[in-house]
């Protein structure tokens, strides 16, 4: 329990000034490895406790961020252990890089509630707080577990499962030969293993790249497209997707029947929830029912409400408008190429009449300073207005009106750390083979790789190896 | 009352490999011990394979010997062939295996038992346990005799309600037609003990005169024999050895088996017990590994004074006529005459999660158990548990702290922890892959790991212990010296390296660094190590391994440090899991069922998550 943990201690918002906190025995070594003062002379390990230091965080020779580092030595810290807090200035992206750099240099990402747990176990919290601590740990854990596994893309999960099954096969082969050398021989197995490990390493490296791009997990602003039949939802989706090279289509696990499209607009990822396939039916509200549409809308970070400006508003529109209450939404007046029946005023009036959410401030529309949702005219057919939509989304993001869930970043950083560990272990296997180490040493590192990969998809080792040995290899008297 | 009534400290039920070790440990630790067996002629019987040791099992025997057990010494006196397995692999998986002369093994053990002070050997069937409150007070035999005692060690092996089966023939007997123990199960069930029914099997024995060895490959023992026991002088075991023989099944064999599968009691549903996956019968192998067109068959002598040969790899419960046909389809066995049929055996055993890692029942104080009764399989697994259970019964009666071996200390610790913590659905066999710290748990250092514990219990003599202390120091000093011995890139060094196929030095280095090169070792570099003192073989071996695998060893030591912290956090016996509200329901159920002794053990129970462990830690802290 004395290993060193790290986490982002503040919310990751787009405006992001935030703190990365590190705690544990090797805390000072970790910061020493990555911190450089302006003059480059200061040894951060020897400074006084409870002092603040200006400088830079380095990943190798590359500056990650300009920071303030607060050094707090045990026992007068929150956790009761040596603690370092890094005050990052460079926004979400830099903060994320700082956390990754910290993890790369000897810390691991904290479990949910782990700082609090340590504080308690080190006697830094009152006994009366025990129940509260337990509840925090429990609540955060169940949430984190659920979210971290569900955030993983189906294709990534399958790749990892594939990798794991290769690795456990190799371990099982070696182990059954060790257990039963007279039945199973590993002579010359090193070569076969080397070839396959190299292949698996390629896949790991590819995954690592994916993780660096943030594409390993279901990252992005959860976006739902709503609109009555024939408003042009599918055309809009096709347009957004079609224009976008970075599209990823992903069929989620068996639990949900939802297609997701990933697109990037000006560097901002949108995760478009294609409920029951908007493209097939044209009508999400009708097909899945208002109840379900409500659920989807409730879950969304952003709603794109598509209005057919060439036909008058009807009851369907009113239902949808109600769903926009208290949500971030952009209203798209589609079919701008046709004679308009609906315009900005019509929309606003209908909202005033039907939906009671008109406090708030207009962001975009000069005509209606009181209106909360920005309105953009587009023509999906003529492919016009898309730039304006992009601009709008960008603006909302950088004003902090749209943000991702913190968990996504944490999960990604955790996955990345696990993949890096896996890569290291597999390289160690190759080295052992090259050096001519005995076969039983291969399985030590292979097992590490197997465990790390399991952590990503929430699988423990358990009896996997024994089961694999018995099912694949005929051993015994 | 005409009933016989006697008083002992410890009653051991069963005289197999577990029972013998338990009884010897109890008596040697000075407690009046009586050992019951259904037949005095079957003491330390080897009803299946004629060997001791093998991968990871050899480790168990070495560990047991280091603690003061008998199995290693007994096999050193009675083996007829010996091999160190996996010699081309790393030191962690080197493992000794010896072919035994079964009769000699049994006789020798009996002699030792009969000549041990405080030990009484008694033929009779224990039918009932006497319990008052939650404390064992004695046993009653089938004949009605009462033996009062303070501790009981149950080592009933495969005898409880045993049934032997082949084809449609089934007998309610123990192995080799020995009398089964049919009454004790009921008494155990009355006490609320949860029982399992397991199954295992053995191949036929064939008359040596009917075998054509010219069609088989001869398998020799090692040229230089390493004894099992740390107390045996290696010079005493350099004896002439017997050979084993290797042959193979073939498609004809497999066809015969497939054609008769419907007559196998396994597939007809006549056998209900759960059999082990690692020791499949030949019919199992043919079904499960249908793509393999041959399986190895080892023909092994059962001893010097018999012509019976064991047919390793072909255990079966097929009918007699099919057995004949299938054995005779194997090259060299065309005219084979069967002395004893192959058979499967079913028996009652317990769900071992009812035990603490001391092998004492959680719910009945003073009741211990070991061996196949605990759901394990194998002579070595049984003996190791027997020793631990016997030691702990004795330690408890002497008012001393009982011995718990953890997973980082011994294979025995892994074995016991797996039994009492994991869900076991088949007879448990030791495997090297089950030991996560196996680089530290080597057969060569079992004495360094465990002798001290044996000494403290009173099973290791002062003289043996003094040698251990000297050895520890000698190893430490020599490692230090070697790591600090500088080697220059001079002519003598370069030519030695060259002759050993190793790259010449560019600059000076240390002797330690040279030893770490895969192609070199401590011994090979003797000629350039001018200050080297004359040290015993076992010391040199430790120096070499510790230097050579230093990096890996240190990594595992670090893992062990973390592991130990969790093991050291004990959970009080009176904890009420139902009171801890934030524990998930599944975790509460599992924890109530297993009642782990430490946070470490709790974390290994399936269904208890890391979050549950955090909750437990916080709860314990706030108590």
B296, B611, B622 member nearest A130 (Cβ) = B622
**Nearest-Cα residue of chain B relative to residue A2:** B562
**Nearest-Cα residue of chain A relative to residue B281:** A477
**Which of B498, B527, B553 lies at the terminal end of a domain, its last residue?**
B553
Total structural domains in chain B?
4
Q: Tell me, yes or no, whether B83 and B126 share the same domain.
A: yes
| Residue A251 pLDDT | 40
Contact (CB<8Å) B433/A171: yes
What would the two tokens of residue A439 be? Answer: 């076969």
Phi first, then psi, for residue B123 (nearest 5°) are -85, 135
| Residue A359 pLDDT | 46
The answer on pLDDT for A282 being more than 60 is: no
Q: Within a 13 Å sphere around the CA of A322, how many CA atoms are in the beta-carbon half?
A: 12
B367-369, strands of its sheet edge to edge: B119-123, B33-37, B10-13, B151-154, B367-369
A113, A180, A444 member nearest B552 (Cβ) = A444
- What is the pLDDT of chain B when averaged over all its residues? 95
Give B615's contacts in chain A (Cβ within 8 Å): 134, 137-138
| Residue B389 pLDDT | 98
Please state whether the peptide bond connecting residue A177 to the residue before it is cis, i.e. omega within 30 degrees of 0.
no
Please give the Cα distance from A373 to A329 (Å, whole number).
6
Query: E strands within A60-179?
Result: 62-72, 83-88, 108-109
B78 within 8 A of B105, measured Cβ to Cβ? yes
Tell whether B499 is covered by a domain. yes
What residue spans define the domains of chain A? 5-110, 152-214+418-472, 221-398
Tell whether B469 is covered by a domain. no
Per-residue pLDDT tens over the stretch A15-60:
556 889 999 999 999 999 999 998 888 899 999 999 999 999 999 8
Q: Tell me, yes or no, whether B240 and B359 share the same domain.
A: no
| Residue A471 pLDDT | 80
A395 within 8 A of A363, measured Cβ to Cβ? yes
The answer on pLDDT for A358 being more than 50 is: no
Contact (CB<8Å) A120/B621: yes
CATH number at residue B497: 1.10.10.1800
Q: Tell me, yes or no, whether B223 and B331 share the same domain.
A: yes
Would you tell me which residues 85-114 of chain B have a C-beta closer than 8 angstroms to some C-beta of chain A? Answer: 85-86, 88-90, 92-93
Contact (CB<8Å) B285/A474: yes
- What is the pLDDT of chain A when averaged over all its residues? 78
Would you tell me which residues 9-68 of chain B have a C-beta closer than 8 angstroms to some C-beta of chain A? Answer: 48-49, 55-56
| Residue B478 pLDDT | 97
**Fold annotation for A5-110:** Gyrase A; domain 2 (3.30.1360)
**Which of B320, B344, B368 lies at the terminal end of a domain, its last residue?**
B344
Per-residue pLDDT tens over the stretch A130-172:
777 776 666 655 555 555 566 666 778 888 999 999 999 999 9
A449 within 8 A of A167, measured Cβ to Cβ? yes
| Residue A228 pLDDT | 76
A188 has a chain B CB within 8 A of its CB: no
3-state secondary structure of A300: coil
A107 within 8 A of A24, measured Cβ to Cβ? yes
Q: Which residues of B353-368 are buried (b: 16+ CB within 10 A; e: fewer)?
A: bbbbbbbbbbebebbb
Report ipTM for this prediction: 0.90
β-pairing verdict for B367-369 and B151-154:
parallel
Phi first, then psi, for residue A247 (nearest 5°) are -65, 140
The answer on pLDDT for A254 being more than 50 is: no
| Residue A297 pLDDT | 77
CATH number at residue B236: 2.40.30.260
| Residue A461 pLDDT | 76
Q: Which residues 6+ apart lie within 8 Å of A73 measured at CB?
A: A28, A49, A50, A82, A83
| Residue B241 pLDDT | 98
Who has greater pLDDT, A362 or B444?
B444
| Residue A170 pLDDT | 96
- Cα Dmax for chain A: 87
A253 has a chain B CB within 8 A of its CB: no
Q: Which residues 6+ apart lie within 8 Å of B476 measured at CB?
A: none
Tell whether B564 is covered by a domain. no
Contact (CB<8Å) B582/A138: yes
What CATH architecture applies to the domain A221-398? 3-Layer(aba) Sandwich (3.40)
Q: Tell me, yes or no, whether B516 and B588 share the same domain.
A: no
Quick one: which of A457, A406, A473 has its CA closest to A152? Answer: A457
| Residue A279 pLDDT | 40
**Nearest-Cα residue of chain A relative to residue B314:** A477
Contact (CB<8Å) B90/A437: yes
The answer on pLDDT for A215 being more than 70 is: no
Contact (CB<8Å) B614/A443: no
Please give the Cα distance from B122 to A318 (Å, whole number).
93
Q: Tell me, yes or no, whether B249 and B392 share the same domain.
A: no
Give A3's contacts in chain B (Cβ within 8 Å): 562
Q: Tell me, yes or no, whether B422 and B517 share the same domain.
A: no
Q: Which residues 6+ apart lie within 8 Å of B499 measured at CB?
A: none
Per-residue pLDDT tens over the stretch B579-604:
887 788 899 999 999 999 999 999 99
| Residue B476 pLDDT | 97
A63 has a chain B CB within 8 A of its CB: no
Please give the Cα distance from A3 to A25 (Å, whole number).
6
| Mean pLDDT of the A107-112 span | 85
Please give the Cα distance from B377 to B280 (Å, whole number).
13
Q: At what angle do helices A189-212 and A154-179 cross, to 10 degrees?
A: 160
Q: Tell me, yes or no, whether B582 and B541 share the same domain.
A: no
Q: Tell me, yes or no, whether B82 and B195 share the same domain.
A: yes
- Residue listed under structure tokens 């949900």: A256
The answer on pLDDT for A396 being more than 50 is: yes
Give B582's contacts in chain A (Cβ within 8 Å): 131, 134-135, 137-138
Sign of CA dihedral A378, A379, A384, A390: positive
Who has greater pLDDT, B615 or B539?
B539
Minimal CA separation from A439 to chain B, in Å: 6
A121, A441, A474 member nearest B552 (Cβ) = A441
Torsion, Cα B23 B29 B30 B34, to 10 degrees, reads: -10
Quick one: which of B167, B333, B315, B321 has its CA closest to B250? Answer: B333
The answer on pLDDT for B5 being more than 50 is: yes
Considering only A221-230, A368-377, A435-444, which range has the smallest mean pLDDT? A368-377
B214 has a chain A CB within 8 A of its CB: no
Confidence of residue A348 (pLDDT cuts 50, 70, 90): confident
**Nearest-Cα residue of chain A relative to residue B552:** A441
Tell whether B123 is covered by a domain. yes
Q: Tell me, yes or no, whether B328 and B211 share the same domain.
A: yes
A417 within 8 A of A128, measured Cβ to Cβ? no
Considering only B77-81, B129-133, B462-466, B616-620, which range has the smallest mean pLDDT? B616-620
CATH number at residue B590: 1.10.150.570
| Residue A264 pLDDT | 67
β-pairing verdict for B95-100 and B119-123:
unpaired
Who has greater pLDDT, B315 or A231?
B315
Contact (CB<8Å) B617/A121: yes
Please give the Cα distance from B264 to B270 (Å, whole number).
9
| Residue B266 pLDDT | 74
Sign of CA dihedral A298, A300, A301, A306: negative
**Nearest-Cα residue of chain A relative to residue B432:** A179
Per-residue pLDDT tens over the stretch B169-218:
999 999 988 999 999 999 999 999 999 999 999 999 999 999 999 999 99
Considering only A225-234, A358-367, B511-520, which range has the smallest mean pLDDT? A358-367
What range does the domain containing B533 cover?
474-553
Per-residue pLDDT tens over the stretch B396-419:
999 999 999 999 999 999 999 999
The answer on pLDDT for A249 being more than 70 is: no
Give A146's contacts in chain B (Cβ within 8 Å): none
**What CATH number labels A152-214+418-472?**
1.20.120.430
**Nearest-Cα residue of chain A relative to residue B418:** A463
In angstroms, the Cα distances linking B495 to A180, B203, B513 are 40, 55, 17
Q: Tell me, yes or no, whether B154 and B218 share the same domain.
A: no
Please give the Cα distance from B315 to B278 (Å, whole number).
12
| Residue B57 pLDDT | 97
| Residue A113 pLDDT | 78
**Which of B283, B317, B344 lies at the terminal end of a domain, its last residue?**
B344
Q: Tell me, yes or no, whether B66 and B32 share the same domain.
A: yes
Q: Tell me, yes or no, whether B229 and B194 share the same domain.
A: no
For chain A, counts of helices (H) and of strands (E): 15, 14
The answer on pLDDT for A88 being more than 70 is: yes
A26 within 8 A of A106, measured Cβ to Cβ? yes
| Mean pLDDT of the B20-38 span | 98
A3 has a chain B CB within 8 A of its CB: yes
Who has greater pLDDT, B450 or A209?
B450
Contact (CB<8Å) A477/B312: yes
pTM as predicted: 0.83
Considering only A332-336, B27-31, B220-224, B292-296, which range has the smallest mean pLDDT? A332-336
């Amino acid at each position: 329990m004395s290993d060193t943990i790290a986490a982002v201690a503040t919310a990751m918002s787009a405006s992001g000034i935030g703190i990365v906190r590190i705690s544990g025995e090797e805390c000072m070594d970790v910061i020493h490895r990555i911190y450089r003062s302006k003059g480059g002379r200061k040894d951060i390990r020897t400074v006084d406790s409870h002092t603040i230091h200006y400088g830079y965080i380095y990943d190798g020779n590359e500056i990650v961020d300009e920071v303030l580092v607060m050094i707090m030595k045990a026992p007068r810290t929150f956790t009761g252990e040596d603690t370092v807090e890094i005050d990052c200035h460079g926004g979400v992206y830099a903060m994320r890089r700082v956390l990754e750099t910290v993890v790369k240099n000897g810390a691991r990402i904290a479990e949910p509630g782990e700082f609090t747990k340590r504080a308690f176990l080190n006697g830094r919290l009152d006994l009366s707080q025990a129940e509260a601590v337990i509840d925090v740990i429990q609540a955060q854990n169940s949430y984190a577990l659920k979210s971290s596994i569900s955030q993983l893309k189906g294709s990534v999960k399958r790749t990892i499962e594939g990798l794991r099954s290769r690795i456990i096969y190799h371990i099982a082969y070696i182990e059954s030969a060790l257990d039963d050398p007279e039945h199973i021989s590993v002579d010359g197995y090193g070569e076969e293993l080397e070839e396959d490990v190299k292949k698996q390493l390629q896949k790991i490296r590819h995954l690592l790249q994916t993780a660096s791009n943030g594409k390993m997990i279901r990252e992005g602003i959860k976006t739902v497209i709503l609109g009555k039949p024939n408003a042009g939802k599918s055309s809009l989706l096709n347009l957004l997707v079609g224009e976008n090279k970075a599209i990823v289509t992903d069929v989620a696990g068996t639990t949900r029947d939802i297609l997701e499209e990933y697109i990037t607009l000006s560097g901002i990822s949108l995760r478009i929830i294609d409920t029951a396939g908007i493209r097939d039916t044209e009508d999400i509200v009708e097909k899945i029912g208002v109840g379900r549409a409500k659920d989807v809308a409730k879950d969304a970070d952003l709603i794109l409400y598509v209005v057919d400006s060439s036909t008058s508003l009807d009851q369907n529109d009113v239902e949808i408008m109600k769903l926009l209450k208290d949500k971030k939404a952009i209203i798209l007046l589609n079919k701008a190429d046709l004679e308009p029946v609906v315009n900005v005023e019509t929309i606003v009036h209908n909202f005033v009449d039907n939906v009671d959410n008109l406090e708030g401030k207009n962001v975009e529309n000069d005509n209606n300073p009181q209106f909360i949702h920005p309105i953009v005219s587009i023509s999906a057919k003529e492919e016009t207005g898309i730039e304006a939509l992009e601009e709008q989304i960008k603006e909302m993001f950088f004003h902090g009106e749209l943000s991702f869930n913190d968990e996504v970043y944490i999960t990604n950083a955790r996955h990345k750390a696990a993949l890096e560990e896996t890569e290291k272990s597999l390289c160690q296997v190759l080295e052992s083979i090259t050096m001519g180490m005995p076969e039983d040493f291969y399985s030590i590192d292979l097992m590490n790789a197997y465990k790390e990969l399991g952590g990503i998809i929430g699988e423990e080792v358990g009896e996997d190896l024994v089961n694999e040995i018995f099912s694949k290899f005929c051993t015994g008297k | 009352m005409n009933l016989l009534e006697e008083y002992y400290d410890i009653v051991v039920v069963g005289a197999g490999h577990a029972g013998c070790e338990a009884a010897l440990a109890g008596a040697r630790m000075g407690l009046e011990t009586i050992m019951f067996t259904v037949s005095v002629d079957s003491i330390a019987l080897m009803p299946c394979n004629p060997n001791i040791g093998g991968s990871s099992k050899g480790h168990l025997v070495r560990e047991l010997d280091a603690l003061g057990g008998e199995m290693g010494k007994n096999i050193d006196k009675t083996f007829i062939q010996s091999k160190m397995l996996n010699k081309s692999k790393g030191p962690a998986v080197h493992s000794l295996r010896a072919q035994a002369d079964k009769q000699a093994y049994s006789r020798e053990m009996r002699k030792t038992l009969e000549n041990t002070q405080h030990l009484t050997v008694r033929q009779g069937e224990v039918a009932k346990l006497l319990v008052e409150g939650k404390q064992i007070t004695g046993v009653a035999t089938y004949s009605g005799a009462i033996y009062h005692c303070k501790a009981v060690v149950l080592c009933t092996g495969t005898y409880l309600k045993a049934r032997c089966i082949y084809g449609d023939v089934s007998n309610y007997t123990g192995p080799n037609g020995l009398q089964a123990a049919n009454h004790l199960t009921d008494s155990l069930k009355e006490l609320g003990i949860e029982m399992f029914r397991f199954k295992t099997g053995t191949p036929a024995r064939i008359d040596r005169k009917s075998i054509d060895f010219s069609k088989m490959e001869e398998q020799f023992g090692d040229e230089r024999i390493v004894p099992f026991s740390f107390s045996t002088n290696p010079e005493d075991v350099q004896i002439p050895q017997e050979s084993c023989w290797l042959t193979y099944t073939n498609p004809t064999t497999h066809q015969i088996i497939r054609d008769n599968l419907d007559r196998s009691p396994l597939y007809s549903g006549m056998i209900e017990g759960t059999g082990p996956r690692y020791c499949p019968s030949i019919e199992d192998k043919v079904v499960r590994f249908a793509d393999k067109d041959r399986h190895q068959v080892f023909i092994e002598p059962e001893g010097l004074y018999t012509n019976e040969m064991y047919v390793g790899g072909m255990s079966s419960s097929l009918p007699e006529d099919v057995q004949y046909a299938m054995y005779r389809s194997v090259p060299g066995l065309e005219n084979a005459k069967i002395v004893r049929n192959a058979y499967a055996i079913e028996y009652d055993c317990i769900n071992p999660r009812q035990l603490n890692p001391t092998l004492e029942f959680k719910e009945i104080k003073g009741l211990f158990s070991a061996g196949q009764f605990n759901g394990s399989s194998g002579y070595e697994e049984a003996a190791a548990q027997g020793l631990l259970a016997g030691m702990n019964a004795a330690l408890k009666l002497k008012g001393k702290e009982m011995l718990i071996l953890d997973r980082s200390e011994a294979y025995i610790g892994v074995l016991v922890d797996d039994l009492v913590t994991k869900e076991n659905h088949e007879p448990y066999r030791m495997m090297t892959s089950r030991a996560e710290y196996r680089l530290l748990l080597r057969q060569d250092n079992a004495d360094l790991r465990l002798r001290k514990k044996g000494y403290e219990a009173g099973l290791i003599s002062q003289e043996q212990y003094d040698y251990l202390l000297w050895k520890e120091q000698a190893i430490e000093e020599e490692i230090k010296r070697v790591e600090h011995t500088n080697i220059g890139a001079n002519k003598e060094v370069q030519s030695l390296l060259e002759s050993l196929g190793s790259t010449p030095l560019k600059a000076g280095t240390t002797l330690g660094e040279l030893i770490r090169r895969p192609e070199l070792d401590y011994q090979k570099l003797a000629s350039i190590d001018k200050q080297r003192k004359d040290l015993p073989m076992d010391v040199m071996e430790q120096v070499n391994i510790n230097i050579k695998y230093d990096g890996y060893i240190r990594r595992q030591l670090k893992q062990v440090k973390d592991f130990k912290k969790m093991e050291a956090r004990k959970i009080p016996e009176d904890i009420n899991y139902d009171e801890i509200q934030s524990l998930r329901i599944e975790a509460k159920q599992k924890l109530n069922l297993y009642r782990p002794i430490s946070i470490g053990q709790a974390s290994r129970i399936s269904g208890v998550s890391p979050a549950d462990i955090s909750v437990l830690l916080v709860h314990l802290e706030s108590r």
